[in-house]
A and B are shown apart, each in its own frame.
Chain A
């Protein structure tokens, strides 16, 4: 059992990070917040550096390290920043850095969904509530922090528990060829191939048919299968195989300068180019007597990210999608019911003071 990353390095980096996060916790009257943040940054940097060295030539792109450093630093500021508005803004920074990592993972649709929904909608709601639920500044207390924001509760225990969790998770995953990963690349490749479900393949056949008709094949072809190996090959049959054979023969004759049968429309050169090069190799006769042709598909015909997510969402999880809609409706109704509930302000029912001219 080999480790991906040296466990000693992992534990040292996590310990440094734990000390840094503990020191960075807000304490009344400042405290060593900046020093703590620097130590935590050193721990995080050591961890990322160790990962990069352990990966060797196999490391992800440099942008990953930039985005992850920003994401973790901003997360640290979310939990240590005493002022809630700034914490929310740092959370937006975390989201932007995470969506950068989503782009590196080729999840383009979710990148934009994350920026629009999280940074654009949810965080704005948070900012609204922060501003609604903040005491109006008074003459003598214009900028001071509220005591429950300026102190943290049980910082030692929280940091210890959090980093214990982090250490357990990262050590569990720090095993190459363990239960979580495939034993070798060939096994993983087999599993990856098995992961391509029938809806995705149906979509690919549909796109292959469109692409073949675009290059000049007759419209009555039907694509039987598409090979999953690049370059993609389409296997298709046609209603009138004799006519297609004649057109292919005419196209080949035109290319070689041989005499062409009059009255036979030759196949477009682009379509001919997609067929397998050998004379006999482009088709075979199926057991039921029909001819099955084989053509090379153009590059980039595979499903795009949005198509793949759409197929996954609508073909494989339609019920969950409906339930998500119901959940959102319930949340909306309950939020309205909660918010319009009349509440007597304060414990003694005293009226809230009107916001006076604070400036």
Chain B
């Protein structure tokens, strides 16, 4: 691994300059590792959102999907040494916080209406 990183850094130094330290550059297969984990977290979130009936757990599953997206953003930002990906994750965090505040207020409201957290209790809302 070190030999490869060394040859990589030599390559970088010759061909194109970079602000970032070349020795800890993420390889393409390394990027793929992170992307597979990110996609798996997203898919697990989708499965949970589709199959669970508890409103709160459904919202937890959306947070799981956001986590997968954040991980992919950070991995790509590392791969390209472009910090815009990290900046976007900050906005993802903001949106997640806003979503949690509003969604949980809605959940409390719905619970007070029907006395249950079952999503099927609201199936009459289908349009």
Contacts and interface: CB of A to CB of B under 8 A. Distances in A.
Contact of B1 (A59, A79, A95, A201): A59
B97 A126 contact: no
A72 B74 contact: no
A229 B19 CA distance: 7
B17 to A, nearest CB: 3
Given A110-B74, A153-B52, A195-B82, A55 B90 contact: no
SS class of chain A's interface: helix, strand, loop or mixed?
helix
A308 B46 CA distance: 33
Given A87-B60, A130-B56, A186 B44 contact: no
Given A84-B57, A190-B16, A148 B118 contact: yes
A335 B101 contact: yes
Interface string B82-110: 11101101110111111111101111110
A151 interface: yes
A338 B82 contact: no
Given A166-B39, A170-B36, A154 B17 contact: no
B54 A192 contact: no
Interface string B13-52: 1011111111010111111111111011111111110111
A312 B1 contact: no
A141 interface: no
Contacts of A190: 15-16
B8 A122 contact: no
Contact of A186 (B16, B75, B87): B16
B43 A192 contact: no
A29 B52 CA distance: 16
Interface in A186-213: 186, 188-193, 195-196, 200-201, 204
A154 B119 CA distance: 13
A328 interface: yes
Interface of B: 1, 3-4, 8, 11-13, 15-22, 24, 26-37, 39-48, 50-54, 56-57, 59-61, 63-64, 67, 70-71, 74-75, 77-78, 80-84, 86-87, 89-91, 93-102, 104-109, 111-120
Q: Rank and list the top 7 A-B pairs by shortest CB-CB distance, nearest first.
A: A79-B48, A228-B17, A331-B98, A162-B47, A158-B50, A166-B43, A158-B51
